[in-house]
Amino acid sequence: MQRWKQYGGLFGLFAAFLAAGYWGFTATGGALPWAKRSAKALQRGVQDGGGALVDLGRGIVVAGPIRKGGLVLEFFGLVALLVVVGIGMYVYVDRYGGFEDGERPAR
Amino acid sequence: MAHIHLGEGTFPVWALVLWTLVGVGLISGVVYRVRKGGIETHQIALAGIGAAASFAVFQLNIPVWGGIHMNLTGLVGILAGPLLGALIALVVNIFSAALGHGAVGLIGANTLVNASEAIVAYYAFKTLWGMDWDVFPASASAATLGLSAGAVLMGAIIVVSGVNGSALPRGDLTIAVAGLVGLNLGVAVIEGILTGFIVQFLASVRPDLVGLADREPRDEPTGVTA
């Protein structure tokens, strides 16, 4: 298929979804964290709100239950473990061509 | 992206039972097909990496549009396939609920939401790829469509279930939920672009991982060769 048709379709999809996103942003209270937005919208219905679409000053926040429970270190430890195991399996499969016959139902 | 963040007790008991049973049915079907058909070994490694990436991104709140988190379930679906994608959705939701991110009673509903994202993204990617689309527009569109399917399903689950303690009539609740779904559609664009770049990179270095090794290059090399 011609490239302009592919990217035209992609940009059309993005434009429609971004417009829906902006409506959703304003209709559900504006610049609110998701938990507050969700609770407010479901309890009180749609209410217009404003605020910045992007607020980099807040930084990237680890999920509240992890942060408040003092589990940030454990969280990053778990993430590192999963990443190492994942990459280790990838390297193993790539280097040795898979698991032993009968050990795993591989095709 | 789409994830039901409501606390325990927000849904009536019948709804919890219903969504849990439907979720169990989906996972049972997936496990049956995995056991019957087997798994490509490279997919197991991809599933491990996909689960790690999805779980990590799940827990990070990004300061866009008030605060959202991504799922990477579209990416997981495209890379690991619909079967492993659904299993990864279950694993990520169990881990997340164990940490207090999402109610334990909603693991069934949230697994349905996230599994639908992976499944729709996979089939959308395969369809677009079959229509001879390039990697980036195909993967970005597929991920965006998959995530939008999950957002719509999330909204439908909330509206069908109703919310305990909410005085909103069903019509007003539907409009409020539509606002939440709409916001998710906007976030799907961001995640779709990110997915497009990741899949395009993987396709350029290891096309076999993305199942694209069999396609002939679109642009034949030109010029004088020795």
**How confident is the prediction along chain A (107 residues), in pLDDT tens digits per residue?**
788 899 999 999 999 999 999 999 999 988 888 778 888 888 888 888 788 888 777 777 787 777 887 888 888 888 788 778 777 776 776 777 655 554 444 44
In a domain, B3, yes or no: no
Decide if A24 and B183 are in contact by the 8 Å CB cutoff.
yes
Q: Which residues of B touch A24 (CB under 8 A)?
A: 178-186
Q: Is residue B188 part of a domain?
A: yes
Is-contact B57 B106, C-beta < 8 A? no
Task: Give me the number of domains chain B comprises.
Answer: 1
Please count the residues of chain B: 226
**C-alpha span between B188 and B116 (Å, rounded):** 14
What are the residue ranges in chain B where pLDDT is below 50?
A: 219-226
The length of chain A, given as a count of residues = 107
**For residue B213, is it within any domain?**
no
CATH number at residue B59: 1.10.1760.20
Complex ipTM tops 0.95: no
Which residues in chain B are contacts of A57 at CB distance < 8 A?
Answer: 63
In a domain, B201, yes or no: yes
Decide if B218 is inside a domain. no
Each domain of chain A, given as residue ranges in start order, spans 1-54, 61-107
Nearest CA to CA, how far is A59 from chain B (Å)? 6
Which domain range does residue B152 map to? 13-205
Distance from CA of B13 to the nearest CA of A (A): 18
Structural domain includes residue B159: yes
Helix spans in chain B (H): 13-37, 41-58, 73-98, 107-130, 135-161, 170-205
- The most distant pair of C-alpha atoms in chain B lies apart, rounded to whole Å, by 77
pTM of the model: 0.83
